[in-house]
Structure 1
Amino acid sequence: MSALTRLTRTETKLFFREPAGVFFAIVFPPLLLIILGSIPAMREPDKGLGGLRVIDLYAPIIVAMAIATFSLSGLPQQFATYREKGVLRRMRTTPVKPSVMLGAQLLMCTVMSVLVMVVVLAIGRVAFDVSLPSQLPAYLVSYVLCALAMLSIGLLVASLAPSGKGAGAIGTVLFFPVLFFGGLWAPRETMNNVLRTISDFTPLGAGVQSLQDSAAGHWPQLLHVAVMLGWTIVAGGLAARFFRWE
């Protein structure tokens, strides 16, 4: 078994030992979909939304929210804590490089968020008749681009935060505005032109719109693809530049 595989398994076990983290990252997104879908008005077609139901819009939003939760809550706080406690420094004396720990964290976050995506789509389809993505390859591309952008931001937070608590605080400050422009409180379709334009240039806003376009059978718009790639390159580059192992 490779070092990456073993570390990923270990990190996953450690993740499941934190009940609060497990609840908000894995349990809460599907639960939120169930709560929203249980409201009759959410299941009624809306002419203002082109005949769509509000619950149809929220499935991609909740999928993106799960990505944001792992990227801004779990990843930066864990890595900053490892640096603060000297775990990364001590790993330099072993055959396992600290970069393998980074890969394990990214792999664990990706696998867990994909699991949440599958559960959300399954609940939406079975319980509330939400259509599955009509353009599956486009949906997967949109998902990967959104995940890359958000994880890059999470790594940037981890690289700049002075401690685990600091990383948690920074992640929380970023989390709610990112979710707002992703449409959690008000779907993008209900935003005014100014808010929707701002949302277009945020990683989660671009990601949500790309997921919604893919679910409707279209490929993501070039603007949103460029925005997600831009956030990935800029945030990822800055994270690599400022990241400290000790």
Structure 2
Amino acid sequence: MNPFSKRITRSIPDSSRLAHDLGEIHVQRKAIRHLYLRLDPDDGSLRVSAPRRTPDRAIHAFVTSRGDWIDRQRQKLARRPAPITENRLPERLHLLGEEHDLEWRQTAGSSPGRLTCDDFAVRIESPDLDRARVLLRDHCRQQLKALLAERVPLWGGRMSLPCPEIRVRRMRTRWGTCNIGAQRIWLALELVRLPVEAIDLVVVHELAHLIERGHNRRFYGVMDRAYPAWRQWEATLSRYGMIGL
């Protein structure tokens, strides 16, 4: 018998579901000491991590005690922009903080389609939604890269840093990541939807990691010196959220 088999078995989370007036609770029992509650950002469903021997009634009572918080978080989720799905595009889209109508017209044949944009609307003509999404992402990527080509050297200079390599990619849960060894920063395509001041917050955050790896006092001191107003833009990231751009 493998001497580590019991240890491995105990490390696997135990998943279950509990009925509750606030919605079904998705429970994972783990080797932890405290109860933790979060809402799934996609549908607002309840997710609880609990110590392994926590009885169902304790989890039920814990969720009940957080009812007001759950209501507030669900209200915030409801105010987020509509996500991009396989079956439709949202009717409106923010670009650099400015709201635009998003109009799609289906065309006949197999043309590559086209996208036009002004101060009020983004208009897409394409034979299908898949192509429309590609055109939209390409346009957003070009806009974001053009902005970053200005903002990253600006902030890097203020922080006395050589300009790192900057790449843009689609991300589901993060606004940016930093590879310190490679001196490379990845930034989320979704940033193109935010006001420039909020984009600056993410840029400064990732640049600060090139000075201090961890999220400690020194790290936030670097951010405070470089961008004193960064905290006032934190809530903007949550308000815009990720829509699957």
- Give TM-score, length-normalised by structure 1: 0.29
* Bigger strand share: 2
Q: Larger Cα Rg: Structure 1 or Structure 2? A: 2
* Bigger helix share: 1
